[in-house]
Structure 1
Amino acid sequence: MEKERKRSLRVVLVPFPFQGHITPMLQLGSILHSNGFSITVVHAQYNSPNPSSHPDFSFIPLPDTSSGPPVPGDIIASLVQLNTNYKARFQECLAEVMRQQGPDDGIACIIHDELMYFSQAEAKDLKLPSIVLTISSAANFLARAALIQLRAEGHIPFPESMSQNLVPELYPLRFKDLPIFEKLDDYLPIVSKAFNNKTFSPIIYNTIECLENSSLAKIQQQYQVPIFPIGPMHRIVSTASSSSLLEEDISCLTWLDKQSCKSVIYVSLGSVAFMDIKELVEMALGLANSMQPFLWVVRPGSVRCAEWIEVLPEGFKENIGERGYIVKWAPQKEVLAHGAVGGFLSHCGWNSTIESICEGIPMICRPCFGDQTVNARYVSHVWRLGLELEGDLERGEIERAIRKVMAEEEGEAMRERAKNLKENIELCTKEGGSSYNSLKRLVEMIMSF
């Protein structure tokens, strides 16, 4: 009877329309669906998720009358545009969903991405509970929320001479590690709206207590709202549905099958970051000179002034032969779980970071913007599971970093720490573990609304 009652309750999900945000939101939807809830996804038309990958969900696109889709290279403009354009339309969609529901099939709550903050006010107007999903680390949440106070105290913007200085109250972050975007004056008002602790809802985190216990404790103290660290969500999801917005080239898995155990360095800078032609060339030569087998993801359009890899040095592909494999996009979770992969050169987005940690894979961190700098600092200086490439990309530094992680004693120590942390995380997701208990509390809270 309780199961039937849960199935009559609907949860409405509101993802931010970038790959790194859509993936954890749909993972959460799958987790809640497996616990008996009906799922409706209200989404932007830009980067629309594929309904066929989640046939048990209902998908409702928000009508869009804006001048065009958000530009991935201008995240701040995208944030402002989405929260402005969709506000009224979202309430109309919710009202329509409520009208269509029977007396035994009401909306239990709204769960929205932290960056789709308009959802909270609209849910409140309709007297619906709301919950926030933050797709970044707990450490990044604290760093981002602290930006307003740091600005008020005159700490930011900061001169280059202070970039290596530690940020007060945010150890081990340096000022250069803060999640600051270039358009600071446009970004801080967004931070103020999205992280106002006076109006905050309960928060779901795709993280684990054994990984971020200290940061989670600080959040609980500062916000005084229920928090639910239920990660790693990709390990809890019972279905293997893909939420990738790009076509995954699974041929790389066949190539990996031919490689020696822990010999391959996997390289991917995520779904949003860009590089110039010089950086692409330096990366290519660093990979080649390391003499390590590599699987390299180069997203089409991610290299400025180039369509794909046509700008690689002449003869590069012939020289590396079968030792290197380049794809436009890869099934990352399967790649990281493959026995041939021994290291990950990553932009350190939170999804990539937590997926790598869960497989016990040491990392070479090349953060680009936002939360990536925070994650890289924690990977290299708190969890000590990798090292960071700082400054300009240079072939010699890339080569040395790969050899250090893949073949030297320091890399072996990282691998051992990663293995131990992987085992602890697995315990957290089992019955009685911290993530298991947090998910149970979350389900109970939604049932109580």
Structure 2
Amino acid sequence: MADAELLFIPTPGMGHLVAMVEMAKLIVDRDPRLSVTVLVMKFPFDSDVDSYTNSLATSMAASRLRFIHLPRENANPDFSSGQFITNFVESNKPRVKQAIAELADSAGSTGRLAGFVLDMFCTTMIDLADELGVPSYVLFTSSAAFLGMMLHLQSLQDEYHVDITEYKDSAAELDCPSLTNPLPAKVLPPLVLTKETVRPFLGHAKRMRAAKGIIVNTFEELEPYALRSLAGLGAPAVYPLGPILNLKGETQTKACGGHQGNDIMEWLDEQPPSSVVFLCFGSMGSLGEEQVKEMACALERSGHRFLWSLRRPPPKGKVWFPSELMDPTEVLPEGFLDRTATIGKVIGWAPQVAVLAHPAIGGFVSHCGWNSTLESIWFGVAMATLPLYGEQQFNAFELVVELGLAVEIKMDYRRDPRMNSDFVVTADVIEGGIKKLMEEVDSERRKKVNEASEKSKMVLIEGGSSYLSLGCLIEDILNNKP
């Protein structure tokens, strides 16, 4: 019987949900006194999240980790609105409140409510925790440097009345206390450059200051400077617990009748070690038709073996999620598949963890989502940056300039509906990036990637920095439970 129960409230995007579930597993595996209930909010459309959480609910035998699925919202929101997530979380507050009341009344409750663990986009739920008199902790699913940037911009906006949106299309460089290098305004996320979104987004930073602690999916040895800077930026206690990764199972069912994943691995088995460049752009990432053609041209000219996850973009103004491309010849240059048949493979959905773990992979052309970045570091695969949306341009800058772990294809490339950004990276630029990534075998960068890979595993074992940080977090939860 657990002494204390934690309520986890994730945002139902794959990157956020997976990190939170993996963290819940870490906590219940570590301490028998704690149990976790995950409240799963449902987007008003079907998504990968549904199949993921359903499979989790059936595969989880742990009595101290359970999932409660909240009713799906029937509203028809404007997905292109920058306020979509904010409005979605607000509209779910009554459902969360009701679920908590039912939990308290049910015999299935395994212990007294000890606190909330909230996703970085669910900070307004701190109000509910306050009403119940329990502490809140925030799970920040991006880097410590990005957390520092959010806190810094929020104080610039609220205390010094700086209009952050004026940095849009600016060539300025900013001093950011969580970085050792000046930050180009062109890699700031669209959310702080748009009038409609800047206040709600930086509002999360303001609310995080009021939390009992912030859990960051990073580790001390990866971002020592950024982590040290956070106290001076007004952050509460910070717990770096990363890398928090799902390395066992794929988080999405295999596409195309379930055979595609096997075909991919069989093809990789036939390739020489470290010879294949893997191109994949995340669960919400896709490229426009013109960009696809430039990418194909670059791959063909580079002569390197490649495995390319190519998805169909969502229709303009529709939900962000790309769909499977049944016939790649629709978008690829004529004859491309025939000409590259001996060196390349174009696929739809990719079992990313299994691919990155394969010895044939020699480099990763990535959108620089933070989960993908941590996976790439874990498996010691050097990256080339082609960020698309969210905070990915910032991540690309951190990886290339601040940490020296990646090659730049383009750091400020954007494919984001809020920014009307349609510029295309040319084949020449992409080819140069791929060659640099794949041909600098003994470079300083590769050494750094290998060192970071070793450290990312050491931090999680007994005595490692993230292991100790988790112990401090659990101690704080148990000492402060109502």
Same fold (TM over 0.5): yes
CA distance in structure 1 between the aligned counterparts of 2:172 and 2:439, rounded to whole angstroms: 29
- Tell whether the 8 Å contact from 2:168 to 2:186 is kept in structure 1 after alignment: no
Q: What is the match of residue 107 of structure 1?
A: 113
Q: Kindly indicate whether residue 10 of structure 2 is the aligned counterpart of residue 10 of structure 1.
A: no
CA distance in structure 2 between the aligned counterparts of 1:306 and 1:60, rounded to whole angstroms: 28
- CA offsets, 1:156-208, max 9 Å, x none? 42264x42534454534211122233772222221343111552331111100
Q: Kindly indicate whether residue 262 of structure 2 is the aligned counterpart of residue 267 of structure 1.
A: no
- CA offsets, 1:256-296, max 9 Å, x none? 11111111111111112332100111111211221111111
Query: Aligned runs of 1:3-402 on 2, under 5 Å?
Result: 4=1, 7-35=2-30, 36=32, 37-46=34-43, 47-48=49-50, 49-53=52-56, 54-56=59-61, 57-68=65-76, 71=79, 74=80, 76-101=82-107, 105-151=111-157, 152-154=161-163, 156-158=165-167, 160=169, 162-163=170-171, 165-167=173-175, 169=177, 170=179, 171-181=181-191, 184-196=194-206, 198-234=209-245, 240-244=248-252, 247=255, 249-251=260-262, 252-301=264-313, 308=325, 309=328, 310-390=330-410, 392-402=424-434
Equivalent AA in structure 1 for residue 54 of structure 2: P
CA distance in structure 2 between the aligned counterparts of 1:183 and 1:423, rounded to whole angstroms: 37
CA distance in structure 2 between the aligned counterparts of 1:159 and 1:45, rounded to whole angstroms: 33
Deviation (angstroms), 1:221: 2.9
Could you tell me which runs of 5 or more consecutive residues in structure 2 were left unpaired when the two chains were aligned: 44-48, 317-321, 414-423
CA distance in structure 2 between the aligned counterparts of 1:290 and 1:302, rounded to whole angstroms: 29
Q: What is the match of residue 463 of structure 2?
A: 432
> Please, which moves more after superposition, 202-211 or 364-373?
364-373
Equivalent AA in structure 2 for residue 165 of structure 1: E
CA distance in structure 1 between the aligned counterparts of 2:404 and 2:199, rounded to whole angstroms: 34
Q: What is the match of residue 439 of structure 2?
A: 407
Could you tell me which runs of 5 or more consecutive residues in structure 1 were left unpaired when the two chains were aligned: none
CA distance in structure 1 between the aligned counterparts of 2:224 and 2:108, rounded to whole angstroms: 42
Equivalent AA in structure 1 for residue 27 of structure 2: L
| Alignment CA distance shift 1:134-1:289 (3 Å) | same
Equivalent AA in structure 1 for residue 123 of structure 2: Y
- Tell whether the 8 Å contact from 1:51 to 1:59 is kept in structure 2 after alignment: no
- Tell whether the 8 Å contact from 1:343 to 1:362 is kept in structure 2 after alignment: yes
- Tell whether the 8 Å contact from 2:367 to 2:392 is kept in structure 1 after alignment: yes
Deviation (angstroms), 1:70: 7.1
Equivalent AA in structure 1 for residue 384 of structure 2: I
| Alignment CA distance shift 1:199-1:166 (3 Å) | closer
Provide the secondary structure at the position in 1 that maps to 2:82: helix
Deviation (angstroms), 1:104: 5.8
CA distance in structure 2 between the aligned counterparts of 1:30 and 1:42, rounded to whole angstroms: 15
Equivalent AA in structure 2 for residue 21 of structure 1: H
Equivalent AA in structure 1 for residue 465 of structure 2: S
Provide the secondary structure at the position in 1 that maps to 2:384: strand
CA distance in structure 2 between the aligned counterparts of 1:186 and 1:294, rounded to whole angstroms: 40
- Tell whether the 8 Å contact from 1:363 to 1:386 is kept in structure 2 after alignment: yes
- CA offsets, 1:408-427, max 9 Å, x none? 36x73321221122222322
| Alignment CA distance shift 1:106-1:69 (3 Å) | farther
Deviation (angstroms), 1:75: 6.8
- Tell whether the 8 Å contact from 2:167 to 2:193 is kept in structure 1 after alignment: no
Number of corresponding residues:
437
- Tell whether the 8 Å contact from 1:24 to 1:135 is kept in structure 2 after alignment: yes
TM-score for both structures, normalised by structure 1: 0.89
Deviation (angstroms), 1:240: 2.4
Equivalent AA in structure 1 for residue 188 of structure 2: L
CA distance in structure 2 between the aligned counterparts of 1:31 and 1:288, rounded to whole angstroms: 43
Equivalent AA in structure 1 for residue 448 of structure 2: R
Equivalent AA in structure 1 for residue 76 of structure 2: G
Q: Kindly indicate whether residue 478 of structure 2 is the aligned counterpart of residue 447 of structure 1.
A: yes
Percent identical residues: 29
Deviation (angstroms), 1:306: 9.0
- CA offsets, 1:41-71, max 9 Å, x none? 1112223342332424422222344423673
> Please, which moves more after superposition, 85-94 or 342-351?
85-94
Q: CA RMSD in A?
A: 2.5
CA distance in structure 2 between the aligned counterparts of 1:385 and 1:190, rounded to whole angstroms: 32
Deviation (angstroms), 1:303: 8.1
- Tell whether the 8 Å contact from 2:192 to 2:202 is kept in structure 1 after alignment: no
CA distance in structure 1 between the aligned counterparts of 2:254 and 2:10, rounded to whole angstroms: 17
Provide the secondary structure at the position in 2 that maps to 1:193: helix
Deviation (angstroms), 1:220: 2.5
Equivalent AA in structure 2 for residue 212 of structure 1: E
Deviation (angstroms), 1:111: 0.9
| Alignment CA distance shift 1:447-1:159 (3 Å) | closer
CA distance in structure 2 between the aligned counterparts of 1:105 and 1:342, rounded to whole angstroms: 48
- Tell whether the 8 Å contact from 2:213 to 2:237 is kept in structure 1 after alignment: yes
TM-score for both structures, normalised by structure 2: 0.84
Deviation (angstroms), 1:149: 4.0
CA distance in structure 1 between the aligned counterparts of 2:91 and 2:74, rounded to whole angstroms: 7
